[in-house]
Amino acid sequence: MEALKVVVVPDGEEQMSSAQVVAKMLTEDSSMSNTFLKNAGLQSGCSSKSASSTERDLREQLEAERRAKAALEEQLATLKKKSEVTEENLAKAQR
């Protein structure tokens, strides 16, 4: 960060302010940004809105997976019945 602050700028351009340097560093490394903001007390570990949103998303995902599982189980049962009928017909044909 200090290196950005002391960079020599060509004539006609302004040197970056401290705020600009910090903003640039935070956008370049998001993990550093999160750590910095948490340490500065500007960002909590997880806000209640995002926690409830995440919980809702996870519940929706779980429900979708349950529906998909039920559909797959139904398909499996149908295929088993077809297989049994086919095996019975094959056994009858071999007699």
Q: What is the pLDDT of residues 18-70, one digit of tens each?
A: 777 777 776 666 655 567 667 776 655 555 667 788 889 999 999 999 999 99
For the cut 60, the answer to whether the pLDDT of residue 4 exceeds it is: no
How many domains, the chain?
2
User: How many Å apart are CA 71 and CA 33, to the nearest integer?
Assistant: 44
Yes or no: say if 13 and 19 are a contact pair by the CB < 8 Å rule: no
Whether residue 4 is found in the same domain as residue 39: yes
What lies within 8 Å, CB to CB, of 94 at 6+ separation is none
Domain that holds residue 33: 1-45
pLDDT band at 85 (very low <50, low <70, confident <90, very high): very high
pLDDT classification of 6: cutoffs 50, 70, 90? low
Task: Report CA 72 to chain centroid distance, whole Å.
Answer: 25
Cα distances (angstroms) measured from residue 82 to each of 19, 49, 55, 75, 92: 70, 50, 41, 11, 15
The pTM is what? 0.45
6 and 40 fall within a common domain? yes
How many residues are given for the chain?
95
Same domain, 40 and 63: no
